[in-house]
Structures are given as C-alpha cells and as structure tokens.
Amino acid sequence: MIPFVKEDAMKKKLWGFLFAAMTAALAWSAPKTELYIYNWSYYVPADVLAQFEKENNVTIQYKEFSSNEEMYATIKGGSNKYDVVFPGNDYATLMVRENMLEKLDKSKLPNIANIDPAISAKKISDPNNDYTVPYFLGAAGIMVNKEKVPNFEKSWAIFSRPDLKGKMTLLDDPREVIGAALKYNGFSANSTNPAELAKAKASIVDWKKNILNFDSDTFGRGFATGDLWVVHCFAENVWLEVSEGQADNEKYADKYVFFIPKEGNASYMDTMAILKTAPHKEMAYKFINFIHDPKINAKIADFTRVPCVNLKARPLVTRKPNYALADVLACDLKVDLGDKRDLYSQIWKDTRGGE
Amino acid sequence: MKKPRLHRERNYGTIYALPIALWFTVFFLVPLLVIIVFSFLKADVDGGVMPLVSLDAYRNLLRPRIFRIFFNTIWVSVVSTLITILMALPCAYFMAKSKAKTFLLILVIIPFWTNFIIRVFAWKTILESNGVINSLLIGFGAIANPLPLEHNWIAVIIINVYTYLTYAILPLFSTIEKFDFTLLEAARDLGASKIQSIVRVLLPNVKAGIVTAIFFTFIPLLGSFVVQQLIGTKDMYMLGNEINDNIYKYFDWPTAYAIAVVLMLLANVGLLFVMKNDRKQAKAASARRVDDVDDGPRAPRQAISVAGGR
C-alpha cells in the first residue's frame, strides 16, 4: 500500500543489511537451516523473528506482499521456495481448493490448542484448523477526529450527514464498502441476495454524496492534516500517519477515536499455512507453533493492536487493542464470492465507477 | 577473375537489427498480442480468461457510464497535453540556444531519478491544506484559511503537466537544436515580424518534434490513473482507473484489455493521420520548391526541405 512506501524502502535497506550481515556470519559459522516466510508487511515484530532464529539456529528469509492477489499470483506462478504463507481466509479457501496447502499434522502444533475456538469457528471452510491456523482476526472501521466532530453516533449513518460533506472518505474497496452498507441495512456482509444488495447500493449512493473520495491510499495523510474528519479505514494505517505508528497511539485518545460501527462490518482473517511445496516443512511447523506460544502471541498482539486470538496469551497482553474482541467477533468474516462476485462488481461500477 | 568481395560491402543490417527485433518481439509484440487476443475471450471468475471466444468485453464498453468516463479522460488529457506543449516549447527553445545545454538537460532529467509516486506525494505536500503554499500564504498573512488546492481537476492537470513536461521537452529540444537559427534572421530581414517568423518558420520546421511531444504526452495520459486517485475526488474517474478496477476489483481482464485495445486503436489512427498529412505537405512543398526556384530565398527553401525530409 502506498503509505508504506518510505518505510518499505527503509525496511528493505534494513533487511538488505541484515542479509549481508547474515551472509557474512554464514561464511564463518556452520551452515544454518533456512525458513522462507511470505507475509504481509508489518505483521510480525522483528524481535519475535530474531528470537525464533536464535532458538532454532535458523535463518529466516522473509518476503512481504501487499495484497492477497500478489501472494496468490506468486505461488500459483510456480514459486516453490516458500515454506510458510499468510493468506487471508478467502484466499486460503481458494488455495485449499487448488490443492496448494499442506494438511496440517496437529501433533506438531501443540500450541494451536490455545487458539480461541470462537475465532477458528469463523473460518467456515476450515473451522478445525486442518489447513490454516488463525494469525489474527481484524476489521475495518471508522476513525473520527473528535475535535472537528464532537457529536456523533457510532454508526455507518455518519456517512449520511450532509454537515460533514467533503470531509469524509470511504475505502476504495468494493467488499469493504458494500459489506458495510449491507450490515448497515441489517444483512450479512456476504449477502448475494439481489434485493438486499439493491438496498446496500442505495445507501452507498447516499453516502457518495457526502464523501470526498473513495480512497485506500492517502486518507491517512488527509486525516492527519485535519482535512478529513471521518475516514473508513483500517486503524493501523491511520495510526501510522497521525503518530509514530501504533506505538504511542494512547497519547491521541482525546483527539481521535476508532470504532467498528454498532451495525457491524465485514471482517478479515489472516492465517498461517504450510505450502505443499515447502522445502523446510519441519521448521515451518516449529514456526507456526512458536507464533502461538502464549508469550510470543501476546507480544504480537501488543504490536499489531488487534484483539489477541490466543486464549492463553490474552492475560499476558499489556496494551489495549484498537477495537474490542466482541466487536470484531460480531462482524461477518468475508468469504470468497466465486461467481457471485459480479453482483458486487456491478454495484461498484454503478456507484464508484461514475454512474 | 572474380573480384574479391570487399568486407565493407557486406550488409550487416540484418545482424545489427537482430537484438532489437528479438527484444521487440518478446517484450512488445507478444504482450501486445496477448492483450488483443485476451480482449476477445471470456473472463474467468478468479481472474484470467477462459478459452472461449466472446465479445462481452467490447459489449461492456457500450455503456453510457463508459462514454462519460471516456469524455472525462479525453478532456483532461487534451488540456494537460496542450499546456505541457505550450510550456515545453519555449523551454526547449531556450535550452537549444543556451550555452549550458548539457547542464540544463540534466536539470530537466533530474526529477526522473525519483519514483513517480513519491513525486506525486511531494505535490501533495505542496498543495495540501497545511502544505508549502498554504503555509507560506498564511505565514505572510495573505489568507486566513487554507485554500482548497488539492482534490480538484486543476491540481490533477498541474501534476500531469509536471510529469510529462520532460517527455515533451526532450523531443522538442532535439529538433530545435538542429534548427538553423539564421533562418529566423532571414525571415526578419525579409519583413516578417518576430511572431510571424516563429509561427511560419520555426514551428513548421520543428513540427516533427511537436508531434512526437504530443504523442509522448497524450497517449500515456489516456491510460493514467495514479494522479487522480491520489489527488482527486470521487468524480475524477478516468479510463486508467476503469482498467485498473477491471483487473484488481472485478477480475474482468478481457474488459480491461478491450479498453486498452480501443485506446491503442485511437492513438494509432491519430498517428497515421498525422503521418499522412505530413507526406501530403512534403509533396506540396517539393512541388513549390520547383516553382520558386528563381525568386525564392535560399534559406526558407532549405527549411522546407528539412521539414519535408521527415
């Protein structure tokens, strides 16, 4: 995603440096095993990776992707060096169908017993974690500048307010916006019922009158400068702009508030899976098990600020997540729409695409 | 006795042209064919195409929505191109006449060393409400509240012009540089005003450069989407955005390709029209050259043959 450009470059440099240092170290010491991880940007704290490397005498080769499409295209395109991937739940479903993922040997993953069953149950296609292990469950929501908008209801109806015209943005993402409009009208965020979708479309047409733009890239910046007062967003993206990431976001609690609207929303889950083609399967099992070690998982939750998915880790979490577990559990996890996607595309063309 | 064949008589043309021919075949022709062929196939739900011939993609273009987007695209591209050329011409002229040509060329090229998206974000820091311009104006007390410089068509056009200025300056510079400036003096000596000498002598002679500059600017603008996405509003939706959304949001590759094919056709029709026009003019010019062989001044005749030679 574009707001990450600068940090990405820095990170690349950092990894480049680490890589060089590791290669140098390799030349001196005995050859280490490797583990290839393919993951989203900013999902696993660096010290967690370092600890795993140290404990297992392994070198992690870490590559980041910025969308499920990119990850899927890379793996589908024949890249067979990766061991662990972090697909979103809808893409994980697709990858299981395409026979790309290893059926997990749970005897090698004792820690996944710690995972909240309510979280795993959200994965309708794989509730028993046979192929995929939840990494986290999150949802988009609305961030409001309280100084500019002192009175508001925690509802999607905020986008219908003409007094906020030109000061709001919706995500440039059909699933998120249509999902939100469906929930606003009291339907499932995965609905494929034409009558329900028509109502959702009417809401979007209404919201469009008041928003400045459909924006997934620059709203964080506009929000930080005070040009935008209400943004439909992923909390972590905005915190990246208004403060130094999420590290100190409590300082801004008086000024900004993030919430998942009371009507609910669409949610997404990122999972961990081992590829059928993984060259280092044993190490991959160790890694997934390590991530769900309570101490480690608490550390990750403190970093991502997403409600912790691991029951034993929850008491160890020290920082308040960006939104409550109950709120995200009340959301509908996005499922792969398959050939019904056209219904959503048509609404998007009619609303976003200039009709 | 057979004459020994001289080494330099052999024609190496084919061999010299081989690398570029291969390059173009693999990296230009093949993708181009893929675009054309895929646009006539049926879309697969998960992206990609199915091996079924279909005109769905082209039927999708016959919607009022698409015509509106097309109109948006055309007017923004035309205005951006016009301003770009009008700014690039005097700039290229100045550079060509300057003694510090290389230095100026480097200055023009420097922005290219930075990633395009970063440059668009740089414009954001200039235009946004607490950006450079607004801070300065507020600092000097010229205005009390920030001006809405971002999120409008003017901002999009400014950034478009900024982006394509280099593409326009370079071909103009290289043509104007070859222009014989004594022709302008000759025109003035023969009674032309300054403006007349530029319009009737300079511009016809650098026409090739102008046409190249227009194409370098206009054609990429037709498919652009990033600027209006980052700086624009909900209403600034152009064909580039439609292509992008067809690929990434609707998983409808054939429609995206069909839009690209239509744009390519339009660009090529324009190009053919200009080339045909050029040839006609060249013919007319050479006819004229025969006519005024006695009384015409030498220099303009040379000028005409330069224009005709392109």
Nearest residue on chain A to B121, alpha-carbon basis = A218
- For residue range B253-294, list pLDDT tens digits in order: 999 999 999 999 988 898 888 888 878 877 777 776 655 544
**B233–A218 CB contact, under 8 Å:** no
- For residue range B204-259, list pLDDT tens digits in order: 889 989 999 999 999 999 999 999 989 988 989 999 999 999 988 888 999 999 99
Non-local (6+) Cβ contacts of A323 within 8 A are A139, A141, A235, A258, A259, A260, A307
Superfamily name with CATH number, domain A32-137+269-323: Periplasmic binding protein-like II (3.40.190.10)
pLDDT of residue A13: 57
Among A148, A168, A147, A145, smallest CA distance to A242 is for A145
Nearest residue on chain B to A342, alpha-carbon basis = B250
Angle at A326 between CA A324 and CA A329, to 5 degrees: 115
Q: Strand A33-40 and strand A84-85: pairing?
A: parallel
pLDDT of residue A28: 52
- For residue range A18-56, list pLDDT tens digits in order: 666 655 555 555 557 899 999 987 678 889 999 999 999
* B76 contacts in chain A (CB < 8 Å): none
| Minimal CA separation from A345 to chain B, in Å | 5
- Domain boundaries along the sequence of chain A: 32-137+269-323, 141-264+333-351
Superfamily name with CATH number, domain B67-270: MetI-like (1.10.3720.10)
Convert A241-271 to b/e letters by CB count within 10 Å (16 or more is b).
bbbeebeebeeeeeebbbbbbebbbbbbbbb
**A349–B151 CB contact, under 8 Å:** no
CATH class of the domain at A141-264+333-351: alpha beta
Least CB-CB distance to A212: which of B118, B121, B151? B151
Same fold, A32-137+269-323 and A141-264+333-351: yes
Q: Name residue, tokens 């972090």.
A: A86
- ipTM of the complex as predicted: 0.80
Q: How many CB atoms lie within 10 A of CB A114?
A: 16
| Minimal CA separation from A58 to chain B, in Å | 35
pTM above 0.90, yes or no: no
| Minimal CA separation from A195 to chain B, in Å | 21
The Cα B81–Cα B90 span in angstroms is 15
**A354–B229 CB contact, under 8 Å:** no
Among B303, B282, B295, B95, smallest CA distance to B182 is for B303
Q: How many residues does chain A have?
A: 355
Q: Is the pLDDT of residue B94 over 60?
A: yes
* A220 contacts in chain B (CB < 8 Å): none
Non-local (6+) Cβ contacts of A87 within 8 A are A68, A71, A72, A95, A132, A270, A271, A273
Residue A131: beta bridge partners? none
The Cα B308–Cα B210 span in angstroms is 15
Q: How many CB atoms lie within 10 A of CB B166?
A: 18
**A354–B65 CB contact, under 8 Å:** yes
Q: Which amino acid would we find at residue A320?
A: K
| Minimal CA separation from B88 to chain A, in Å | 30
